[in-house]
Structures are given as structure tokens and as C-alpha cells.
Chain A
Amino acid sequence: MTDVPTYPHADVVLCPGGPLLLRGKHVIEDSSGELHETTRRVTALCRCDKSAKKPWCDGTHKLLPEKLTPS
């Protein structure tokens, strides 16, 4: 018998130093109460709080000093 594995696969992924990946269709309420609907199958949500496109990630975390990036 060959072992056919089951792979771990999360719907919400916290990327070290980076965004939160969200799989599937979601509506996000931001801190000011505004609603944002996801438009793609996998979405990156800002965790560093510096994105110009919040609530979405725009890669800005890569410009921050390490101590300001999310764990």
C-alpha cells in the first residue's frame, strides 16, 4: 500500500512579516465600519497597517524596518 497523504490546507494564513491570506469570498468591515468585498479567490489583507490600499495588502510591509512588521 502506498500512503496517499492528506495535505494541511488553511483558509486563513498569517504570513510572517507580511499579510493575512484569506481564501474564499468574504466581506471585511474595516476599523471605520466600512465594508469591503473580496474580488479574488485569495486575498491579502494588510497587517502592518501601512498599506495605501487598506484593508488590502500592497506590499508596503517590505519597506518597513523589521521591528515594525507583523510577526
Chain B
Amino acid sequence: MMLPKPRGPLSAAVFESMRALPTEPVARTHPEADEPEDAAITLWALYELSYRGFDDVDETAEWDPDLLAVRRPLEIDLEGRLRARWESYASPHEVTADFSADFFALVAAHDGRSLARFVQTEADEQQVLDLLRLRSVYHLKESDPTAWVVPRLPTASKAALMELQYDEYGCGDPNRVHSHLFARGLEAIGLRSEYGAYVDDVPLEILEQNNAMSLMGLHRRLRGAALGHLAAFEATSSIPSRQLSQGIARLGLAPDMAAYYDEHVEADAVHEQLAVRAICGELLAVEPELRDDIYFGAFTCLDLEDRLAEQLLARWGAAT
């Protein structure tokens, strides 16, 4: 993958610095971001150095201290924004002795608009393709941000996370790796399946979703938030996956793409139980002080999806 298109003065300058490494050192100062998308694409590209990197950026860029110095204020800004949204959330969650019941109740009480329901019943082919392009930025690296959390966990939580991740990564069969199933679906439906193919097309909301997962995955401090995010993601996946599969079938689109979502109906019915009860539950048993962060991560997952749904449904002219 090549670096994405810059979206403002900050990303233009930082991407130029990235391309010039290691021949030229990174500039000590960069212009301010002129809008949120400019900051978000810059942070997204800096994070990508820790995943698969870019063909036009030297591999040493990942740990270049001057690039890390660019990344840090962008992360602080993102985390501050996400935490402010969580703190202003109107209905505080219940805290009882039964964490799993509390967690599922929090997810059930969060009733944002659903893209999956729209796809199931109303979306046209172009809207479904639109959505798949946007989803591809994450689904082609599905589960990767969570993989970073593994070495930071106490034993029982670690074993449970690996039980889930093993399934995400195909149980040893590369053909069943979820990101690979999505790539096959993209090709079957007539879209590009190369890693990062549609980054230039995605709105701020998608960049924020991806940056939030990388932020939580890369910082050990945020391990609770990363797993809360995972649990909320899994707990809102089975039923929407069925709706997406039905929408794809309704439009007569590629069965391989419907199959990706069908796989997630059953897989995520398992994963949500593992994520809430075993992964988060066992983490809390050892590190109870992470409870708030687990909920912060969960809320962030649900809230960022709401923001995406609002944006896309408005763009598509869907009735409120």
C-alpha cells in the first residue's frame, strides 16, 4: 500500500517527512491540522506503520522519535475527545456484582440507528457497495488491533482472548481467517480487496473508528478499554451480521460476501459470550480498577458506530 492522499497541511507535511526517511530527518515542526480529517488521516497513517506499513515509507519510520512526537499530541487529542463523549453520555451504566449482566444491559440500552437494518430492508446496490468500501479499512485487518493486547493480560483473560482470536484468525486455516473471508467477499462483489484500497474514500467517522482501535491496542495503559471495545463490538455483531447477509441476498449480490456475514452470525454468538464473561470478566477479577476503562472502550465502540450510521444514512437520504 502507498501512503494515502493528504487531507490538509498537517498530513501533507507529515507524509512528505515520512517519504523522505531515512535520507532526511523528520522536520521538527509541522503545520497545524486545518480540520479534523487532516489530523485523523495523519494519525491513521502513523499507526499504519505498526501494521503493514507503506511501500513508499522506510520501515524504520515506525519507531522514528520525531514521528512519534508528531503522533503523541494527535493521540492525546483523540483520547480526550473520546473520553469527553463518554463522560457526557446521558445514561450512566448500572454497576452491580454481575458484570456480564450489567455489560449486556448497557449494550442493549444503547439504541443508535442501525446501518445493518437499513441494508437488510432498503439499501440499494450502490449503498451496500459504499458501506463495504468503508468497512474494508478495518475488516482487512480484522482483529489485528486486539492482538497487541495479548501479552498485557493476566493468565485467564489471556487464554480467553486467544480462544477468541484463534477463531478470528481461522483456527490455523488461512482460508478461514476473517480478513481473508472479507477479501474474498470484496472480490466476488466487484470491489478491490488489496489492503487499504479505499482509505482515500472514507469519511472522518471511519478514520476515528480505526484510530480508536489502534490507540487502545497500542497503549498497554488502555488494555481495559481495548477489551471493552472488543466486547461491545462482538455483542453488537450477530444480529446485524444476519441483517447484512439478508440485505446482500435480497439484492442478489455475491454469495461470498453474504457468507462472510453468515460466518459472523454464529462466530460472534460465541465471541460475545467469551469477550464479556471470560475476557473482560477474568481481567476484572485480577484488575478491578480497569472497570471504568472497560466501559469507556465499550461506549466508544457503540458511539463511533452511531456517528458513522448518522453520517451515512444522512448522506443516503434515509428517513430518520
Give the nearest-CB partner of B272 in chain A: A59
User: Interface 1/0s, chain A 1-43, versus B by CB < 8 A?
Assistant: 0000001000001011111010000000000000000001111
Q: Specify the main secondary structure of chain A where it touches its partner.
A: loop
CB under 8 Å from chain A, chain B span 247-285: 265-270, 272-274, 277
Contact (Cβ within 8 A) A7 B239: no
**Which residue, of A16, A58, A63, has the highest number of chain B Cβ atoms within 10 A?**
A58
Interface presence of B242 (CB below 8 A):
yes
* Size bin of chain B's contact surface: 20 to 34
Q: Which residues of B contact A44 (CB under 8 A)?
A: 266, 269-270, 273
Which of B2-10, B55-63, B130-138, B163-171 participates in binding chain A?
B163-171
CB <8 Å contact, B270 and A59 = no
Q: Which of B163, B242, B267, B273 contacts A19 (CB 8 A)?
A: B273
* B108 close to A (CB within 8 Å): yes
B267 surroundings in chain A (CB, below 8 A): 40
Interface status of A52 (Cβ within 8 A of chain B): yes
A15 and B273 form a contact (CB under 8 A): yes
Q: Chain B 89-127 against A: per-residue CB contact (8 Å), 1 yes, 0 no?
A: 000000000001100100010000000000000000000
Q: Please tell me if the beta carbons of B167 and A59 are within 8 angstroms of each other in the complex.
A: no
Interface residues of B (CB under 8 A from A): 100-101, 104, 108, 155-156, 159, 163, 166-167, 171, 238-239, 242, 265-270, 272-274, 277
Known: A52-B242, A58-B266. 16 other contacts (CB 8 A): A16-B100, A17-B104, A18-B273, A21-B274, A40-B266, A40-B267, A41-B167, A42-B163, A53-B266, A57-B269, A58-B242, A58-B269, A59-B238, A59-B268, A59-B269, A60-B239
